[in-house]
Copies of this chain bind each other. A is one copy, B any other.
Amino acid sequence: MSETKNAKPPKVVTAAILVIGNEILSGRTKDANLHYLATGLTAIGIRLMEARVVPDIEARIVEAVNALRIAYDYVFTTGGIGPTHDDITSDSIAKAFGVKLIKHPKAVELLTRHYGEANLTAARLRMAHVPEGASLIDNPVSTAPGFKIGNVHVLAGVPAICQAMFDGLKGGLARGDPVHSKTVSAHVGEGVIAHDLGELQQRYPKLDIGSYPFFRQGKFGASFVIRGTDEEAIGNAAAELRTIIRNLNAEPIEGETPA
């Protein structure tokens, strides 16, 4: 058994996430968006290759956006698009792209309808400003839109809004070949199975075999996750893995073990 021969190379689409906000770095707020976006991107065949968290400092945001947008197909930022002085993401993204910040007519219209003319403060109107050339991203929760410029998608930081924005836009993203995954667990020490597991990885160089130790219900063990675009190869590697586990006098458990 081995990897499928002569398979054409998979279509790979990559992404990075940039979390913007002092509150994550100080520990005040526990980020809840990274895991949601990671899971969501993986599910639609986009490979999240990097994530960064930076503070509300323009130079740091500009630097990170420019590094990530060159390196990956998509960038998703979260945070910093509200109405207060510490919301500097839109300005920073405009700087990163070397364009002006403009008042987007459609965003003004949306905010006017939402707040009413009388309550559309100057601060709220800040949320209608986007870098020139950007298109809006729908916010079904609280109206104030995100935006997209180039390959950068700018989302809110509040988890319910960030997630709704992502769910709304993901249908329009280019997808890579789906990455399939098979998990087999066992009550074996990583140090006992490591040699055979390393050889298995060498026999399947196009697959990605991860080993994740656990201690659950009073027992040590590890979950082995086999990932890749070639489902047949994954099936073959999983079969070999079950044999490896049995040869170590343990029982393969399909999937993760119960928590």
| Residues in A lying within 8 Å of B, measured CB to CB | 22-31, 34-35, 38-42, 47-56, 60, 82-87, 115, 119, 121-124, 126-127, 158, 160, 179, 181, 190-195, 197-198, 201, 208-213, 215, 225, 227
Given contacts A35-B31, A52-B50, A55-B49, contact A85 B26 (CB under 8 A): no
Query: How far, in angstroms, from A215 to B148 measured CA to CA in the complex?
Result: 26
- Which among B28, B53, B210 is the interface contact of A51 at CB below 8 angstroms? B53
Query: How far, in angstroms, from A60 to B208 measured CA to CA in the complex?
Result: 16
Would you mind naming 8 contact pairs between A and B with Cβ atoms under 8 Å apart?
Answer: A22-B208, A27-B35, A27-B39, A50-B52, A83-B191, A121-B194, A123-B198, A160-B215
A51 CB contacts on chain B under 8 angstroms: 24-25, 52-53
Task: Among A22, A27, A208, find the residue whose CB has the most chain B CB atoms closer than 10 A.
Answer: A27
Query: Chain B nearest CB: distance from A240 CB in Å?
Result: 15
A115 CB contacts on chain B under 8 angstroms: 191
A190 CB contacts on chain B under 8 angstroms: 82-84, 123
- Interface of A: prevailing SS: mixed
Smallest CB gap from A194: residue in B: B123
Query: Chain B nearest CB: distance from A223 CB in Å?
Result: 9
A119 CB contacts on chain B under 8 angstroms: 191
Query: How far, in angstroms, from A55 to B72 measured CA to CA in the complex?
Result: 14
A86 with B50: CB separation less than 8 A: no
Query: How far, in angstroms, from A209 to B192 measured CA to CA in the complex?
Result: 52
Query: How far, in angstroms, from A208 to B55 measured CA to CA in the complex?
Result: 11
Query: Chain B nearest CB: distance from A172 CB in Å?
Result: 20
A225 CB contacts on chain B under 8 angstroms: 23, 28
B213 with A82: CB separation less than 8 A: yes
Smallest CB gap from A111: residue in B: B191
- Which among B27, B48, B127, B195 is the interface contact of A26 at CB below 8 angstroms? B48
A86 CB contacts on chain B under 8 angstroms: 201, 209-211
B122 with A195: CB separation less than 8 A: yes
Given contacts A26-B42, A42-B27, contact A195 B50 (CB under 8 A): no
Smallest CB gap from A28: residue in B: B225
Query: How far, in angstroms, from A192 to B192 measured CA to CA in the complex?
Result: 62
